[in-house]
A and B are shown apart, each in its own frame.
Chain A
């Protein structure tokens, strides 16, 4: 069964600290993996996309990694800011099938001063 598991479920960190969010998946055949950021009361917005051949990709203070062998991805946030407080959702795409997108339940990050 295609599944995406995220950990931790929630996280509280101090402003300026770093953190890492995890995503494990069993989706096959794999096409790509996206991390979305969802601010409270808003729709999710794509942060980054990882394809099979990519190991690391950065977008400002956000760095995503992908290990296609172990089917794991991480999202590392450097020097966190209060505005990073949001839910981060991992979404894995399959290359075929009628329902190609599999969503994780997200990690709720709270950055406090």
Chain B
């Protein structure tokens, strides 16, 4: 079974621009979560989508947004980029069955550099 895929793997943007990152979950996984990893703040939860609805949201400004499509693929968008948005953005998917959630599996990440 194919793992979680993320595109692009590397991205360089300029301050003020916007960016869209994509994540394809493991087949059959309907929950997709996004995390930001930086040397200073570590791994921080951004948001989670299940059945095309945002279920949980971390403590990030409104410039960070996301969505999920009917095939469970997800995108996240960052508008008006700031230097501090430079990070590795990780996507994770998990299986959800009834009220039970299972462990999260991560993709390789998208390395975003803002100049």
Q: Do A and B bind each other?
A: no
- Chain A interface residues (CB < 8 Å from chain B): none
Residues of B within 8 A of A (CB): none
